[in-house]
Amino acid sequence: MATVIKAKKDEVEIATEDIDSLSVLPLGMLPLDSDSLRSVRMIKDGRLQSAIELFAGDSGGSGLIYPAALRDTFPKITDGDHGMITAVADLHSFDVYSLRISLRNIGIEVDTQRYLSLSDEKQQELRKYVRPFTEQLIKKVYGGHDDGADTTNVVALFQDADETAARASLRNMAGSLSIPLHAVPQFLEDYGDIYLSVAYYQSCLDMIQPIIDDFLVTTSAIMHHNQMKQNSELLKVCSRLEIKFRKLKDTLVDRFALFASSSDDMWENMDAQRFQEFKQLMEDNHAVLGGLLCTLTVKMSVWSDKFPNGYESDASRRADFIMTEMRQGI
């Protein structure tokens, strides 16, 4: 059994955008001894390697240190800190849902509520994704639809100024789920969190979908270009990346379809056991979803930063970038 390393009391303030990211791990959330390390963050670079970012310049540059060279910059780093950083550097994604599982597996305990929950701002952004799931809940309990309430907080949906009505709603839910009344609040919390994770991952894919499409247009155009298609190595790399990125995207789409189908089945004959099975299905997939999306997001962000104007950019420059950067780490 892994040793649990508990977080320190002197917490470091962390930016909400870092908490909401797939590819950024604020080291301040870890129980490190070094104050210098706890004030910086680990990121996934354009080649999908984990690096400690000492600073980020306004022009886009940054000071990166890779775990293998950590002692060169921090010669007094403790073995514990070095081991912890090396362990988290091997993770495939730094999103909050993957980290809940991954950090527990490697024996690092952090404040889940503070560091491994999406920010209020991100939760508000996800309202449109969460709504279909909360509508199922409301229909099951009330036999109706929501009226535009804040659907990111399912517990709040059942808070009512009329205490009698609120209690009746909770009893109704307990009966529908065949669970004790006192277990309903925990069910609601679990329900909201699990569907928020689905919404988060779906929104991440939607955000990069246009960039994926642009990249695939580029690889197809290169492979049909009269001159470029004579370059067998370029042709091979473009074909491999096209297949790889399509497969990553299709895998994600298939997983989301599976979750939707499983959710519908769960609500057909809803009880606490079926929900726990669905919850376990989702949690078992968090690391996979996070890893796939982190790979796609990092690579597509690099591509978009380099070529922000779509396929209007010079094809030869795009081909060079594919050969030097896009292929790395895949």
Q: pLDDT tens across 70-115, in order?
A: 999 999 999 999 999 999 999 999 999 999 999 999 999 998 888 9
Token pair, residue 136, equals 């199922």
pLDDT given at position 44: 97
pLDDT given at position 150: 56
CA atoms of 174 and 197, how far apart (whole Å) = 24
pLDDT given at position 4: 43
> Which alpha helices (DSSP H) does 90-162 contain, by range?
96-105, 112-115, 120-125, 127-142
Name the one residue in this structure whose structure tokens are 């909050």: 96
CA atoms within 13 A on the CB side of 40: 16
The widest CA-to-CA distance across the chain, in whole angstroms, is 76
- Give, in order, the Cα–Cα distances in Å from 10 to each of 83, 103, 116, 297: 21, 20, 17, 32
pLDDT given at position 145: 53
pLDDT given at position 192: 84
Name the one residue in this structure whose structure tokens are 């670079």: 45
Mind listing the pLDDT tens digit for each residue in 226-278? 999 899 999 999 999 999 999 999 999 999 999 988 888 888 877 778 878 88
pLDDT < 50: residue spans in the chain: 1-7, 9, 161
pTM of the model: 0.87
- Starting at the edge strand found earlier in the chain, the sheet holding 41-44 runs 24-26, 41-44, 50-56, 62-65
Residue 105 carries which side chain, given as an amino acid letter? N
pLDDT given at position 1: 38
pLDDT given at position 94: 98
For 155, phi then psi, to 5°, come to: -65, -40
